[in-house]
Structure 1
């Protein structure tokens, strides 16, 4: 096997970039490590300014033809990509499990089917994308969505392919060309996506995949003057650097930046439901931007809630992500585990109490951190205010509805919120006051691509999903036509 390939769980993955319809190597590589057992997965091409320039040039060259491709044909190709994803679903699931440590059963049953759905949804939405014409003093207004140009899409490591295609699919549907920069901790399924797209008949240069570090290839991409859109999912500090680079070219940005979401449990709630939703926040080892990591419980029920929560959390199985019985896998990287443990240790030193967990799982070793619930935490403490991005929840109490809302909104984030109550009127009052891009009432993580998605405050800029995606990835144009003048033009030139 060539040095440019790696074979994982029987799946061959090309470790080079995909630029202009060809595989491109780099002078340097970086080692991709599996969080499950620390084994090396491959030597990945490490891009920089040269590869960034080549990818943007390829995207720019391919743009006119792809932008002029009729909507129906673009939609057909996106459906063909979805067919390819479904055909290789098991390959994608196995590779991504090794690469980012998330559960194989989740990849098989939910994540990879969602990847295919992303392409199908935006392909179908494209065909019905329209705005009804309207009149202004007898003049006709016609709204259209024009492709913007090359788009740089920078994606995270916690759900690599699903979150990448959440951006890639609408950008391609809109008629744009794409440079995808996957996270360096989980780059492999992006490479497989390039193969699938090529097999589906996507024109060379329409989708480019460039691997490497953000400070190297990422910086070169987001500062490039020929890039027309940038979409990024990740941390606030990185987003600020991207925004500063994009500002020089006035490149429009869409930023989804994580959160510190609350879960409010009122005394009139279905307590079994509330506990189920709270324990669900440990999904993907807590590496979920939408996770409601701040559990806020009405004081009168906190003892019963805590008892039930502790019992249910104790039944979670932590272990190898490839095992069907596993509920919690490892965290992604040694640096991430160190960050998580640092948050917890500082909180404990400051007087917090670990109701459960509070340390790495010494029995498993490696990158496994015990599911943790911290009580006796101050509202202004670091662990309450900052995103941990690990299996760490905090428990606080409130006595009134007003106090619950105040605590829920008292962070710099505003991505999501979850509310559990048996009172419909209370739900309406509270949700109206919560600062969040998404609010779930008596449920969690119900997502629909027709809905707007994004965050408030430091959780992001902009919304994507449905028409909101096309509004971002296109130049929206309004054409105003006068009712008279046609005959005069014919007479003058005839």
Structure 2
């Protein structure tokens, strides 16, 4: 078997990256493209041995990287960003081929954001500081000490962007990293290893291992030398990771699922509200933040539904490499089956499909809007992670807030209203890590990001990322007692 595959003209190494070199495994798994179901290649399938080797490499590299001056760490991270920018086109086409998201989005937004992740945390590192303060004449000095080897487990819906959202602050903080990408979309993580090495990142500081969670993931999350674990993905997998990490009391950062609401009040700009609702089909609905529950005030519900149906029906679904495509394929046949299972059970229970409600050729699912759904129904309560929205109506603010908060999740919420005071009242009562008012998916890395309830534990972004990836230390110094003759 060749160690390299060619994807859309780009050569990708299929082996792990451990301790600054490529490492093969005895076994492999097949990576398929959602574009047509074709096999892209055989990927090294790691297990406990590869996990142990990657953690050992990270542990060995940690002291020198932790001791590297902040300015030098920042310089190398900027060099990684430079490398990403030089290869945006390659990264974009490989990721589109591997996970099915729109090529135009990868080119114009996602891959530039990957580079920004490195630049932002490199720059934030240089300004990371806490003003000293006095306690009865004693000086308190707060510092962020690197924690050690970190295991980062990342999802398939935005593979490289979400991976670097974790990798960049972990490395900036002075930690070493073992990155395990999702087995459904592993290829750009391998390219990242090449880019980081070319940028001068020392061997062992970033390691990339591939495989299944049950085989290599458990070995990583239970390893006693791992000092931090960050995971983005599903609630069931998070529970498994938490149980695995519990024996060592390894700190966790978990960004999990969502069932976010979009609240449309009668005083909202309806055209804007419809645009926001249709935007929830982005990435074929495979977005944790997506406001999949449309809650619309009764007086405008009929008109909203008419305008939404008209706009959503005009979306073009097809090859994500085509500039005119709005919605690409579902990433994997198993995910397609899962989405359709949710929809068919909802229809059998009495829901009505205003649009969609069925599969299309290949790995495509028709953009779907379901009405006549009960609040306690599976389709309203559980994350589908596909192009499936529900629509419910409400009579006033209290009912809107009650419906919005009535799930086990709390990742995000969106509010459409023309009344500033109403916006302030409603957002104050919503249980969510992020609330957007008359907008959606405006993200700034200076802001905290994460979920409430079963949507996650902890926050990422700005200083919050460093708080997680570091051991915070407070040094208290007495004003007297120095040996004046010393030195």
Q: Same fold (TM over 0.5)?
A: yes
Which of 476, 480, 483 is the aligned partner of 1:484?
A: 480
Q: For 1:302, what is the secondary structure of its paired residue? A: helix
Q: Which residue of 1 aligns with 2:73?
A: 74
Superposed displacement of residue 425, structure 1: 0.3
1:92 is matched with which residue? 91
CA–CA separation in structure 2 for the residues paired with 1:40 and 1:5: 14
The residue number in structure 2 matching 1:274 is 273
1:198 Cα deviation after fit:
0.1
Does 1:248 find its partner at 2:247?
yes
Deviation string, structure 1 residues 116-169 (Cα, Å, up to 9, x no partner): 000000000000000000001110000000000000000000000000000000
Distance in 1 (CA, whole Å) between partners of 2:80 and 2:380 is 42
Instruction: Output the CA distance in 2 between the equivalents of 1:267 and 1:97.
Output: 39
Gaps of 5+ in 2: none
2:451 aligns with one of 431, 434, 455:
455
Q: TM-score, normalised by structure 1?
A: 0.98
Matches within 5 A, 1:296-335: 296-335=295-334
Cα distance in 2 for residues equivalent to 1:394 and 1:72: 49
Q: Deviations over 1:239-270 (max 9, x none)?
A: 00100111100000000002000000000000
Aligned to 2:468: 472
Give the 3-state SS of the residue equivalent to 1:379 in structure 2.
Answer: coil
Partner SS, residue 467 of structure 2? helix
Q: CA offsets, 1:442-475, max 9 Å, x none?
A: 0000000000000000000000100000000000
CA distance in 1, matches of 2:202, 2:477: 35
- Of 391, 396, 401, the residue aligned with 1:400 is 396
**Structure 1: distance between partners of 2:347 and 2:56:** 52
Using the TM superposition, give the Cα deviation of residue 10 of structure 1 relative to its aligned residue in structure 2, in angstroms.
1.0
> Equivalents in 1 of 2:376, 2:367: separation in Å?
23
**Matches of 1:110 and 1:253, distance apart in 2:** 29
Matching residue of 2:287:
288
**1:41 aligned to 2:40?**
yes
CA distance in 2, matches of 1:430, 1:213: 42
State how 1:17-416 maps to structure 2 within 5 Å. 17-361=16-360, 365-416=361-412
Quick one: distance in 2 between partners of 1:334 and 1:10? 25
Equivalent of 2:424 in 415, 423, 428: 428
| From 416, 430, 439, the counterpart of 1:443 | 439
2: CA distance between counterparts of 1:9 and 1:414? Answer: 39
In structure 2, what is the Cα distance between the partners aligned to 1:139 and 1:436? 40
Aligned residues: 487
Task: Provide the rounded CA distance (Å) in 2 between the counterparts of 1:371 and 1:70.
Answer: 50
Shift of 1:9: 1.1
Q: Deviations over 1:16-49 (max 9, x none)?
A: 0000000000000000000010011110000000
Stretches (4+) displaced over 6 A = none
Look up the SS of the partner of 2:75 in the other structure: helix
Instruction: Write the deviation string for residues 371-401 of structure 1: whole angstroms up to 9, x where unpaired.
Output: 0000000000000000000000000000010
Residue aligning to 1:10: 9
For residue 490 of structure 1, report the CA deviation from its aligned partner: 4.1
Q: Determine the C-alpha separation between the residues in 2 that align with 1:401 and 1:171.
A: 41
Q: CA deviation at 1:366?
A: 1.1
Normalising by structure 2, we get a TM-score of 0.99
Stretches of structure 1 lacking an aligned partner (at least 5 in a row): none
SS at structure 1 position matched to 2:31: strand
In 1: Cα distance, 2:457 partner to 2:128 partner: 23
Cα offsets for 1:333-389 (capped at 9, x unmatched)? 00000000000000000000000000001xxx1110000000000000000000000
Q: 3-state SS of the aligned residue for 2:290?
A: coil
How many Å separate the matches in 1 of 2:216 and 2:67? 29
